[in-house]
Chains A and B, each alone.
Chain A
């Protein structure tokens, strides 16, 4: 829908107007649903805080990435069709999981062999807040030192931050958002975007390499002096949390929306 009159109005008015009429579909990926529902809750509360109309279609399950990355993309076919049918009516689909959002956006069309309306509108919550809502205030107050975990698919597929391999002007949507949080101290580990070694079923097919990578990554986060590791992807956090717990490494893990929405 186009509102030509709006062009003469003040940009903020336009923004408020559009936000009011925007319908958001909330996609809470399967493992977040089962293991980290608080991340889904924080996302919902945060989007509502910005006055958005948020809906959660209850028949949603999984985006199909676990099967796809393991080599069974064909088993994900029906899930992808279901996703498209469930979510295509929304203006945006927002998911608090960078890797799932990237899989939907970049892999779904190849799996179905047709354009996926929902996939084109799916965004990770960080890029949605940063690029669409362009928020300049967040409700969260978080007087702690955190170390940012730049998840691979967030960095290299969604472009949440500039990949260290590339010669492009450095940016980080994650740090931009965390910078709005009152009281926070934001750190980054040495090798800021090296993989933590999760890789979906990589972690069970190559458990030794996966654990070794996870251990090194957790130790680099600890070396920043941070109390928390935070990032846009609970799957990386889950992997590192499992490794840290096994080895008794002293650091906590928290999804970035839980920080942005702290206190809501």
Chain B
């Protein structure tokens, strides 16, 4: 018993909770256990539900999301009710016949044409956003090919004296001025 306990302790990762040691002791009585399968491939388990890793994972709270407070739930509930109410009102406004509305007592309301107009406008806005984004990226955000920003960066550390590093190996920190480099290479 002591031997098996020691061997089981050797196989386990160093965890400090006592329950784990108890669990491992419990398991050890019946069958030899495996913690990581590639350490001892001979001892195998068929029942996956008794695997210790599984139990550990199920017991731990490490990956549990934050405790949700009741305020957040109430707020979500209130939003749900509000949006449902607005949606219902929108549908009623769009679909109810006029004499029904007069019967309720509502005489002054926006023209129903707006229901169609707003819906269509939002839909086309969604579709246009694809095109607009593409245009924006190509026309506005893309710099011209011969722009200085395509070659140099504003965060460079520039060495103004080309003689210091121009004919040696590349310095890891300093960059040379592009005008000096052009002069050496092409003038």
**Chains A and B are bound partners:** no
